[in-house]
């Protein structure tokens, strides 16, 4: 599946929801989150925005938004923004998400400390995402 795409998002959510420690990882976090893959020419020309909501210890809703500005209306508790290449490096495990957020390269709106406190669950998320067959948009010849 191509990252980013609605199909990749659905597979990633299914993989993360299958993790037995997910409820514990989500405990104490606010209910919703937005993420934006920003344009990063020539690798990725468009923007890709998602909104997710947790409920009952699992991701209950995850959807692609037609426009990143739609997050302004939804007002999620957390919003993560970064250029495509940075998301790719994070997904490949080449960057530490906490250090990347603390450096400001991954921009976080909302309570960053609440997210940092859950950094111990990073391996769980990485394990889940490793089960998703991922082809990156720039490697698939798709620049959106």
What does the alpha-carbon distance between residue 131 and residue 92 come to, in Å, rounded to a whole number? 12
Does 139 map to a domain?
no
Cα angle: 129, vertex 132, 135; to 5 degrees: 110
Q: What is the pLDDT of residues 27-61, one digit of tens each?
A: 989 999 999 999 999 999 999 999 999 999 999 99
CATH classification of the domain holding 87: 3.30.1050.10
Name the maximum alpha-carbon separation found in the chain.
Answer: 40
Contact 104, 83 (CB under 8 A): no
Establish if 119 belongs to a structural domain: yes
pTM for this model (two decimals): 0.92
The pLDDT, as a whole number, for residue 117 is 87
Residue 109 has phi, psi (to 5 degrees) of: -105, 130
Q: Does residue 143 have a pLDDT over 50?
A: no
Q: Is 85 part of a structural domain of the chain?
A: yes
């Amino acid at each position: 599946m191509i990252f980013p795409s609605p199909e990749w998002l659905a597979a990633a959510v299914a993989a993360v929801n299958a993790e037995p420690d997910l409820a514990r990882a989500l405990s104490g976090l606010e209910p919703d989150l937005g993420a934006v893959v920003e344009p990063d020419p020539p690798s990725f020309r468009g923007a890709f925005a998602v909104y997710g909501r947790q409920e009952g210890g699992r991701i209950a809703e995850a959807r692609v938004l037609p426009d990143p500005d739609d997050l302004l209306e939804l007002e999620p508790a957390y919003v993560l923004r970064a250029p495509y290449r940075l998301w790719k490096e994070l997904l490949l495990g080449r960057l530490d998400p906490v250090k990347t957020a603390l450096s400001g390269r991954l921009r976080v709106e909302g309570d960053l400390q609440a997210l940092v406190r859950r950094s111990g669950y990073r391996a769980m998320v990485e394990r889940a995402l490793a089960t998703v067959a991922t082809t990156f948009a720039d490697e698939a010849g798709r620049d959106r």
